[in-house]
Amino acid sequence: MSYGGAATVAGYSIPEKHHRAKFGMWLFLTSEIMFFTGFIGAYIALYNSSPTAGKDACELNWVIALINTIVLITSSLTMARAVAASKRGDAPSVQLHLVLTMLLAFTFMGIKAYEYGSKFAHGYTPSYSPFFSAYYLLTGFHGLHVLGGIVVMWHLLAFSFAGKYTKEYNIPMEVTGLYWHFVDIVWIFLFPMLYLLSPIQAAVGH
C-alpha cells in the first residue's frame, strides 16, 4: 500500500493516526523525562555530597561543550524546517533538512567523541571519581538518544525518497521532530549543570 495516497493507515483514518502517534510519542517522552530526572537528581545529590566534585567539574571544557550546544540547537532548527516542509508536501526540502540535521547530529557526536578521548587521555575515566561516573552516565545516555535519532532520520530520508510521505501523511516526520526537540532540550539542561556550575562558583569564590 502506498502510504502517501491512502485515506487510511493500518486501519485508521489519517487524522486518527496522527492523534495516536503523537499521543504515543508523548507517552514515550514522559518515560524518558522520568529516566533523565532520576539521573539528574542522583547527580545533584552526588555533587553536593562529594568534596571533589566541583574540582573535577572544572576539568571539563565548557568551550567545546558550548560549540556542541550550538550545533545541537542548530540541528533542532533544521529538523523544524524538515517538519514544516513535510506539512507542505515539499519532499526536496524535507530531504535537504533531514540530511543537514543528520550531519549536525554526527558533528555533535564527533565533538563528544573528541571530548571523551581527551578526558581518557588525561586519566579522567568513569572510575576516576564519582563525578566523572555521573558525567559519563548522563552524557552517554544522552548520546544514545542522539544515535537513535540519527537511525530514525536515516529511515525517514529513505522513505521520503521512496515517496511514502505527503502533506496529508507526515506522521513519522512530526513525531520524530518531537523526539529530536526533546533531545535538544535535555542537552540544554545538561550543559550548564555539568559544564558551567563549578566554573561560575569558582569565579565568585564559592
What is the pLDDT confidence band of residue 195, given thresholds at 50, 70 and 90? Answer: very high
* Stated pTM of the model: 0.85
Residue appearing with cell numbers 535519532? 149
Query: H helices within 89-196, ranges in order?
Result: 91-121, 130-161, 171-191
What is the pLDDT confidence band of residue 16, given thresholds at 50, 70 and 90? Answer: low
Query: How is domain 8-203 classified at the CATH fold level?
Result: Four Helix Bundle (Hemerythrin (Met), subunit A) (1.20.120)
- The tens digit of pLDDT for each residue in 64-91 reads 999 999 999 999 999 999 999 998 889 9
> Which among 66, 65, 105, 109 is positioned nearest to 82, based on CA atoms?
105
Positive or negative, the CA dihedral 45, 51, 54, 56 is negative
Sequence-distant (6+) residues with CB within 8 A of 179 are 25, 28, 29, 149, 152
Using the predicted structure, report yes or no on whether residue 17 has a pLDDT greater than 80: no
**What pLDDT is attached to residue 3?**
37
> Which among 59, 60, 82, 79 is positioned nearest to 71, based on CA atoms?
79
- The tens digit of pLDDT for each residue in 111-153 reads 999 999 999 999 999 999 989 999 999 999 999 999 999 999 9
The dihedrals phi and psi of 32, each to the nearest 5 degrees, come to: -70, -35
